[in-house]
Amino acid sequence: MPLSKEKLEELTMTARKVRRHIIEMTAEAGSGHPGGSLSAADILVALYFHEMKVDPKNPHWPERDRFVLSKGHAAPVLYAVLAEKGFFPKEELKTLRKINSILQGHPDMKKTPGVDMTTGSLGQGLSAANGMALAGKLDGKDYRVYVLLGDGELEEGQVWEAAMAAAHYKLDNLTAFVDYNGLQIDGPIVEVMSPEVIQEKFRAFGWHVIDVNGHDFEDIVRAIEEAKETKGKPTVIVARTVKGKGVPFMENQVDWHGKAPSREQAEEALKGL
Amino acid sequence: MPKTATRDAYGKALAELGEEIKDIVVLDADLSKSTKTSVFAKKFPERFFNMGIAEQNLMATAAGLATCGKIPFASTFAVFATGRAFDQVRNSICYPKLNVKIAATHAGITVGEDGATHQSIEDLALMRALPNMTVICPADEVETRKAVRAAVEIKGPVYLRLGRHPVETIFDESYEFVPGKGVILREGKDVALIATGVMVAEALRAAELLAKDGIEAMVVNIHTIKPIDEEIILKAAECGAIVTAEEHSIIGGLGSAVAEVLVEKKPVPMKRIGVRDVFGQSGKPEELMKEYGLTADDIAGAAKSLLKR
């Protein structure tokens, strides 16, 4: 079903709020990863505000859909979305990366309500998502499992071990996203260590592959629907994104992978959001 | 005395427990015939996942299963479980304190002919260093079976160190296994022999040898390397001399754990029997035990040299 005009507006508005949180939190923290958080914002908003069945009052609800942020350094986007969704008060966002905060530098399932898996060491999230999907199949539950991978993260060998296993066990209750923003810490992915052609690699591993514009809600939602209808194999949605999306001076700039904006830069960024 | 490999006891115990506890699932990395998870696999094929030769994926998949209430037993050789997949065990299992049981077989140099690449002599050190991890190294068939059940009862990650080579059965069915509680197997006042795993039988033999020379050796079985039983170690220290024995590097395993307790609470002269910071080699298990100084004679010799000081 296509998105209604109202829903589209709501998602757009929420994504803007999420991006504002990302800027504010990382500026307040004085460190963090704004670039890859901004690139993934629309994907997470589509998931949490359109697709996933979750209950912020009951974060451990056994029937819930699961989400694993395999590129754990994009924690700010996950925290912003969870706060907007009501898993914890938005004031907590100010505590990101500070001592005794529930919001660690990388996602911690034991500290943050709504975080389904602890991540941060790249390459492990898809495996964990596979485990959740296997458990769902075993228990005859109809929850779905979503996982977001970075494009640079695809350089980790374990991702492909997990890709092999997901197809082998026919995990059609699992949908992976690749945040294909083309940049990693040391530069463009194709220059550092090319994981391309991403789509062909997943296809060869037995996955259903969908290409989308990762900043187009209708495109993302359509792909999620297609994934749900795909039986007998897992689906990967390769989402073309812009690192730093929404903040002109951060867009496509590799330097904004792991650097927080100063107060002044944050003010400038917020003006445009 | 009958001999059974602890891996065989594990396979049997796991298949039995699987009947009783439906949340148990088992993952293996193409070694199910060797780790003996094949017994479980045959009985409960739907709850057994062969992950192929991909240990990192195996560990993190087990973590994912645990988040959904399953009790995964992740099995492969100790060298791969703790070495190859260390980061996965650390970050995806121990840090979130997930209920994964890593049952690693083929630990120590008694792996034998496969040689150094397959002889895990640093796994206790690696696993012991991880917060939230319980580390158990059973001595025989009976203790293994009881330890497998205890591992299920512990909420959180457990590392079970199991062997390939048959070992003597020391305990009878009445033996009570309490995680974290060492066991005095023989009283003595002159020296305490503190051993774990396959070295427990060697320590008992060493005590016999020492007895012939009029030395009364206490023998303590430390099956749980972490959390270590400080109380029993301090009690053993009352003998005034301690020899630790493990089929593991002298760095980071039982000897280190005991030394850490003693140095802070009750320093006494001590010697560590273990692999002395070298890699192993191919050979028959018994030959290797002798070559690397892991026999009853070596333990007895260490005890005597301590008492001569």
- pLDDT at residue B2, rounded to an integer: 81
pLDDT range class, residue B282, cuts 50, 70, 90: very high
CB < 8 Å to B66, chain A: 131
Q: Which DSSP string do the residues of A11-48 spell out, in sequence order?
A: HHHHHHHHHHHHHHHHHHHT-S-HHHHHHHHHHHHHII
CATH no. for B183-308: 3.40.50.920
CA distance A233 to A224: 14
Residues B92-110: what's their mean pLDDT? 98
CATH no. for A5-271: 3.40.50.970
Interface check for B280 against chain A (CB to CB < 8 A): the answer is no
Q: Which of B55, B141, B202, B230 is catalytic?
A: B55
Interface check for B44 against chain A (CB to CB < 8 A): the answer is no
> Are A169 and B49 inside 8 Å of each other by CB?
yes
> Are A118 and B91 inside 8 Å of each other by CB?
yes
**What pLDDT, in 10s, does the model give residues A21-72?**
999 999 999 999 999 999 999 999 999 999 999 999 999 999 999 999 999 9
Whether residue B1 has pLDDT greater than 90: no
Interface check for B97 against chain A (CB to CB < 8 A): the answer is yes
Token pair in block for residue A67: 């989400």
Of the residues A112, A138, A141, the best mutation for testing chain B's interface (the one with the most B CB atoms within 10 Å of its CB) is: A138
- pLDDT at residue A2, rounded to an integer: 82
CA distance A113 to chain B (A): 13
> Are B65 and A118 inside 8 Å of each other by CB?
no
**What pLDDT, in 10s, does the model give residues B224-252?**
999 999 999 999 999 999 999 999 999 99
- pLDDT at residue B298, rounded to an integer: 98
CB < 8 Å to A66, chain B: 67
pLDDT range class, residue A234, cuts 50, 70, 90: very high
Whether residue B109 has pLDDT greater than 80: yes
Of the residues A122, A132, A156, the best mutation for testing chain B's interface (the one with the most B CB atoms within 10 Å of its CB) is: A132
Of the residues B24, B57, B97, the best mutation for testing chain A's interface (the one with the most A CB atoms within 10 Å of its CB) is: B57
Average pLDDT, chain B: 97
CB < 8 Å to A106, chain B: none
Residues A135-146: what's their mean pLDDT? 98
- pLDDT at residue B307, rounded to an integer: 95
CA distance B218 to chain A (A): 43
Q: Which DSSP string do the residues of B57-111 spell out, in sequence order?
A: HHHHHHHHHHHTT-EEEEEEEHHIIIIITHHHIIIIIITTT---EEEEESBSGGG
Interface check for B70 against chain A (CB to CB < 8 A): the answer is yes
- pLDDT at residue B207, rounded to an integer: 98
pLDDT range class, residue B261, cuts 50, 70, 90: very high
Tell me which residue in A62, A118, A168 faces B95 most closely, judged by beta carbons: A118
- pLDDT at residue B40, rounded to an integer: 98
Strand B3-4, strand B167-168: pairing:
antiparallel
CB < 8 Å to A121, chain B: 87-88, 90-92
What residues does each domain of chain A span?
Answer: 5-271
Region(s) of chain B under CATH 3.40.50.920: 183-308
CATH no. for B3-168: 3.40.50.970
Whether residue A1 has pLDDT greater than 90: no
In the annotation, is B55 catalytic? yes
pLDDT over 90 percentage in chain B: 99
- pLDDT at residue B19, rounded to an integer: 97
Residues A93-109: what's their mean pLDDT? 98
Residues B161-182: what's their mean pLDDT? 96
- pLDDT at residue B24, rounded to an integer: 98
- pLDDT at residue B197, rounded to an integer: 98
Q: Which DSSP string do the residues of chain B spell out, in sequence order?
A: --EE-HHHHHHHHHHHHHHH-TTEEEEESS-HHHHSTHHHHHH-GGGEEE--S-HHHHHHHHHHHHHTT-EEEEEEEHHIIIIITHHHIIIIIITTT---EEEEESBSGGG-TT-GGG-BSSHHHHHHTSTT-EEE---SHHHHHHHHHHHHHSSS-EEEE--SS-EE----TT----TT--EEEE--SSEEEEE-TTHHHHHHHHHHHHHHTT--EEEEE--EEES--HHHHHHHHTTS-EEEEEEEESSSSHHHHHHHHHHHH----EEEEEE-SS---SS-HHHHHHHTT-SHHHHHHHHHHHHH-
Region(s) of chain B under CATH 3.40.50.970: 3-168
- pLDDT at residue A195, rounded to an integer: 98
- pLDDT at residue B91, rounded to an integer: 98
CA distance B291 to B109: 10
Residues B195-218: what's their mean pLDDT? 98
pLDDT over 70 percentage in chain A: 100
Whether residue B309 has pLDDT greater than 80: no
- pLDDT at residue A5, rounded to an integer: 96
**What pLDDT, in 10s, does the model give residues B2-45?**
899 999 999 999 999 999 999 999 999 999 999 999 999 999 99
